[in-house]
Structure 1
Amino acid sequence: MSRPDYYKFLSSRANLIEPSPIREMVSKIAVKSKTRQVISFAAGEPDPDVIPRELYAELSSELFKKVRIIGNYSPADGVIDLKNEIAGFMKEFEGVSTNPENIVVTLGGSQAIDLIGRLLLDPGDMVLTENPSYVNTLLVWKHYGVQIKGIPMDDHGLIPEELDRALSKLSKEGKRVKLLYTIPTGQNPSGLTLAQERRKHVLEIASKYDILVVEDTAYNHLLYEPIEVKTLRSMDKEGRVIYVGSFSKVLGTGLRIGWLEGPLEIVEKAKMAKGPMDMCPPVPMQYLVLEVLRNKVFKHVKERAIEAYRLKRDLMIKAIEKYLPGIKYTRPVAGMFVLIWLPRNIEAAQFTEVLLEKYDVAAIPATPFYTDESGRSVVRLNFSMAKTDLIDEGIRRIGELLKELTT
């Protein structure tokens, strides 16, 4: 008897699945870290020392004593009290008036994005994103057989004129464009923030071409400068924006509590689709986040995170200017990331491989975040997880490798 040829049993959709470059790099870092100290600019997470673990321990201890159903299922769309608090949170922090009925609690923002793909996207549909865009959104929506076109950005975020130009061209070609996916604030991977005056223009263009907008707000609460950045959802007068929220970047990625908010027609379908997938989000984590919101401590946790990450951002920018003179880079006013552009003859993937193996510094090649070949020499650096006293040294080593390759 021979083993089956398992590949012949795979669905056609399985052939669209691609590996995550982030996960691959994390695995390499883990192996390397067993024998060497690695300075990592690779992750996209909160600093464990900024997350209020002691508070979580206290709240969790009390919750397991007083919440009788904490070990049972909740409704598939989330604990109703949590949905009420999220609605209040959106009003207080995002200027969005909504109802609990319009909210579905999800396994982080990632599940909300996948749900949107399941509900709205058919094979052959066209999706527009910023270029570059969040790689995991690109990967998961490719599972649904869509075509993805990136819209150029500049220092002020997505360029509305380029969006209009692309939609006009696609319309003339008879292409079916369903939606625009955007991370307007502290964008991943660029760290760029869409200028306030452009946000209104983006909504006007969406209305003009009758498309939906998926607004990913993962980094909205890590804003380091006193600038005005209203959510697209709060400015939306036509119900075109589907809001993807997440507590991951402030409260902790491991909590896995996010949400989808949007029109009832879509939300009701999301509830139906989600139930058979996971039954419900993790109930203990739902109640933990509920207690954080009820006790009004989110703002305190957020302010602590902003103070810590602003310092790290400033240290990274200072080091880039010191050790990488002449290199193009982004200057984030929000989020967790900086992009740097290597000379065109250097490929980011090879550069980061050598950087890890020879210099014990981890970074992510930004190439997979791009929808075309324009990112082959771009590297993403994360500052939120980096150790404060090692940021300067890590950037110095990047400069050392760059000098080695260019002299």
Structure 2
Amino acid sequence: MALDIEYSTFFKSDLPAPSQRWSGFPKYNFIGGHNDAESIPVDDMIKSISEVLKREGRTLATYGLQHGPQGYKPLREFISKKVNKRSGLSVSSDDILITSGSGQALDLINAAFCNPGDTVIVEQFSYGSAINRLRRIGVKPIGVPLNDEGIRLDLLAERLEDLLDKSIKPKFIYVIPTVQNPAGSIMPEKNRLKLLEISKKFQIPIVEDECYADLIWDRSRPPALAALDEGNRVIHCGSFSKTIAPALRIGYLIGNWNVLSQLLALKSDGGTGALEQMMLAEYCEANFDKHIKSRCETLEKKLRILTEAIEANFGTSAEFEVPEGGIFLWVTLPDSVDTVRLARIALSEGIAINPGPEWSTDTVPARSKLRLCFG
């Protein structure tokens, strides 16, 4: 279709490259955070949405379902029970803001805290979308290396000292302490306490992303940073994308009212999807624990099949730490391998993989790494 106007001349500067038209998933898809289609509890979802619509469907006539802009109260009540039981928090529904996925939660935090030119501390290998979101608004993400216990706290303290010597104070520290994405590590409780001490010493808040924390098998789960925090230094976010279904786009933020009230003032979408909230609240109240148990059992089996296949076909050329939860495997190939180039070649053969640099603040350390989704 011919255009009468050249829109590109009106676009703002510094936009990302335009998206390509979607042409379908590759035959072998190891990218993104997709769930196995068989894991979606369709029948129970149908039952849940039918029951809640019969009971409360007429509340769709108002924005917020007559529960206010923080979100559908029964869902917030379920989330409070979930995080109090599983993550060790002590919160009520009033401490929770429902968002359109954890992505919107991060956007709201960035909008409230960051100006162009600001700095944010992140793990060197981290959620690619979180890194990109910061860069797109002119914020510099500074990466701190990880080990098998999460972010290197000694290097974090050094980095903060160096920045303060230059009169640079980061706006916040963004971490994924429980089933880190992409590395899969779980930060021990002693490290969490030390991280909170660092936050207190430097007076820098923490944004804790717990999107994968419910998907842990065969081990006890450390309390969330927000549960250990005694100074309201932690903003906690989570999601149902990995536990229930990515397409539902339901996330949440937990924090004190001083923070939530400001984030709520920036949330200009008229409310997160009502049907999704209603269905999730109804479904999760009756089925969440059972569903998570089944999902973790399936994920652990799929991970075992994946690691056995890699060992059989790559031998010692592929190195990885077997995660204790989540849906990703972080693989290191020989230094000579460029995984960006490898991803292009693999895609031409119908295999999609995430090259390491997409999940890193620094290209060089991630050059020979790749992330595989087994969700």
Measure, in 2, the Cα distance between the counterparts of 1:93 and 1:292: 18
* Cα distance between partner residues in 2 of 1:133 and 1:369: 5
SS in 2 for 1:127: strand
Amino acid across the alignment from 2:176: I
**Residues 16-165 of structure 1 aligned to structure 2 (within 5 Å):** 16-17=15-16, 27=22, 30=25, 33=26, 38-67=27-56, 68-70=58-60, 72-74=62-64, 75-165=68-158
> CA offsets, 1:215-244, max 9 Å, x none?
000000000231342211111111100000
| 1:4-403 matches, cutoff 5 A | 4-12=5-13, 15-17=14-16, 27=22, 30=25, 33=26, 38-67=27-56, 68-70=58-60, 72-74=62-64, 75-274=68-267, 276=268, 278-295=269-286, 297-326=287-316, 327-358=318-349, 360-373=350-363, 374-384=365-375
The CA distance in 1 between the partners of 2:116 and 2:32, in whole Å, is 32
Contiguous gaps of at least 5 residues in structure 2? none
Distance in structure 2 (CA, Å) of the matches to 1:340 and 1:137: 21
TM-superposed CA distance for 1:98, in Å, is 1.4
SS at match of 2:331: strand
- Please give the alpha-carbon distance, in whole angstroms, between the structure 2 residues aligned to 1:16 and 1:154: 34
Q: 1:312 to 1:210 in 2, by over 3 A?
A: same
TM-superposed deviation, 1:100: 2.2
| In structure 2, C-alpha distance between the alignment counterparts of 1:18 and 1:96, rounded to whole Å | 41
Gapped runs of 5+ residues in structure 1? Answer: 385-407
**Alpha-carbon distance in 2 for matches of 1:190, 1:170:** 26
* Higher mean C-alpha displacement, 311-320 vs 65-74: 65-74
Q: Secondary structure at the match of 2:219?
A: coil
CA distance in structure 2 between the aligned counterparts of 1:348 and 1:217, rounded to whole angstroms = 28
- State whether residues 211 and 238 of structure 2, in contact with CA within 8 Å, keep that contact through their aligned partners in structure 1: yes
Q: Could you tell me which amino acid in structure 1 is paired with residue 40 of structure 2?
A: I
Q: TM-score, normalised by structure 2?
A: 0.92
Contact 1:218 1:245 in 2 (8 A): yes
**CA deviation vs aligned residue, 1:86-114 (integer Å, no higher than 9, x gap):** 22222122111113222110001111111
Query: 1:256: Cα distance to partner?
Result: 1.3
Is residue 103–residue 262 contact of structure 1 (8 Å, CA) maintained in 2?
yes
Structure 1 residue runs of 4 or more that deviate by more than 6 Å after TM superposition: none
Give how far 1:194 is off.
1.8
- Superposition deviation, residue 57 in structure 1: 0.9
CA shift for structure 1 position 40: 2.0
Aligned partner letter, 1:380: R
Question: Retained in 2: the 8 A contact 1:96–1:234?
Answer: yes
Matched residue type, 1:196:
E
1:3-39 Cα deviation digits (max 9, x unpaired):
5453443335xx15467xxx87x94663xx4xxxx22
Amino acid at match of 1:204: E
Q: CA–CA distance in 1 between the matches of 2:360 and 2:213?
A: 22
Match of 2:243, SS? Answer: helix
Structure 1: how far apart are the matches of 2:295 and 2:134?
31
Amino acid at match of 1:336: I
Deviation (angstroms), 1:321: 2.0
Q: Secondary structure at the match of 1:85?
A: helix
Equivalent pairs, count? 367
Report the AA paired with residue 58 of structure 1. K
